[in-house]
Amino acid sequence: MTPYLSAHFPGTGGHIKQTPEDFEVEELPLYRPCGEGEHLYLFVEKRGLTTLDLLRHLARAFGLRERDLGYAGLKDARALTRQWISLPGVRREQLGELDLPGVRILEADYHRNKLRLGHLAGNQFRIRIRGANTNTLETTRDVLHVLAQVGVPNIFGSQRYGVLNNSHLIGRALVAGDFNEAARQILGDPAAIQDPRWRQAAQSFRDGDLRAAQAALPRHMADERRLVNSLMSDKDVRRAVLAFPRRKLRLYLSACQSWLFDRLVAMRLSSLDVLWPGDLAYIHGKGACFQVDDPNIEQPRADKFEISPSGPLFGTKVRLATAQAGLLEESLLAEAGLNLESFRLPAGLTMEGERRPLRVPLHQPAAHPLDADLEVTFSLPRGSYATSVIREIIKDGGCVAEEPGPGGAQNG
């Protein structure tokens, strides 16, 4: 678990996402529709639906293919969210026929191009923390002040690692070419599984009794059942694992990248805002990186939050830092028993990698009492997580509900 940047302040405890209204997210668009074009942009408020659920309903309502609809970011179901969606060839007057439970159209206008993933500036959050300890308002404001000054640790966190907290272990096994371990982790560790049938299936699988594992698997675990069936028929574990749905395999690989990145953030947490020799500095206004040869020259830009140290989402094409910063990145990869070529995989699963800032700016943070609870508001750049802020406030003893990440659903 990544340590806390604000560890010298006590946690508030408490819970989030007890109701969708406890977690409000509003997309901050990169641009607004221009008023003309073949794509109808909708600013949609949804409750209790993922973005992919919403796209499916809209495609069905207007007779479109889901892949032709556009969106800038994935949003969670356990929240009240507002985001932009684009529909090709739909006219504004057709919206009067639309009736989707949990969905409201707030704005509609035309634009020339399809909305693409990542075409957003960030997200504005309003989050209610229920059951927080008493007399925590000033502490919460102090934590927000620290995060605003130093930056928010740009971790992915537990939402990326799945219900059994092992998605990264599946991904690591795939990258290492250990398909037996990947299969074991896909079925799961019996000690971590609550569902009795799933737990029995996982135990039977580890005992080598594939027929008992197949019989015990819950009906909804169709992908796992196909994996076991494949192993029963030809015993080729590599082929069976690679036949798993590609979307899920890429989620596991992405989780492995995220796990390594989060470890790097933890290693540099005490100097998150300090450039090291050899760093690849991330330019927040451009999304590009450059190599830092002399930290003393570039540090004033980091102090103004124009740039930040970055870390790799490891892959075949990612550029690594050099000198002191590079040694840390290379040693982290070596400790995991991997190298960049490990991420070259068959069946279209190769991960090319990219650089990601180790910290992100926190904008307009505020906290105030709401009945007997706490409410915090802030905005973050795209691709970063509100839970990275909330975990600093709640700390141990609190409950941060799972927020699916990119590759799954993310609020960004």
Strand partners, 111: 39
List the structure tokens of 108: 């509609």
How far apart CA 327 and CA 115 sit, in angstroms, is 40
Strand partners, 43: 84, 107
Contacts with 293 (C-beta within 8 Å, 6 or more apart), sequence order: 277
Task: Tell me the C-alpha to C-alpha distance, in Å, between residue 362 and each of 143, 377, 397.
Answer: 11, 10, 24
Burial (0-12, 13-18, 19+ Cβ within 10 Å), 151: buried
Identified catalytic residue from 22, 53, 68, 76: 76
- Angle in degrees, CA 126, 127, 131, rounded to 5: 155
Backbone angles phi, psi at 116, to 5 degrees: -110, 150
How far apart CA 386 and CA 312 sit, in angstroms, is 21
Task: Tell me the C-alpha to C-alpha distance, in Å, between residue 209 and each of 184, 186, 204, 212.
Answer: 13, 16, 5, 6
Catalytic-residue membership of 209: no
Residue pair 47/100 in contact by the 8 Å Cβ criterion: no
The DSSP code sequence of 377-403 is EEEEETT--HHHHHHHHH-TT-B----
> Of 5, 14, 27, 4, which Cα lies nearest the Cα of 380?
27
Burial (0-12, 13-18, 19+ Cβ within 10 Å), 248: middle
Residue pair 253/315 in contact by the 8 Å Cβ criterion: no
Residue pair 378/117 in contact by the 8 Å Cβ criterion: no
Active site amino acids: 76
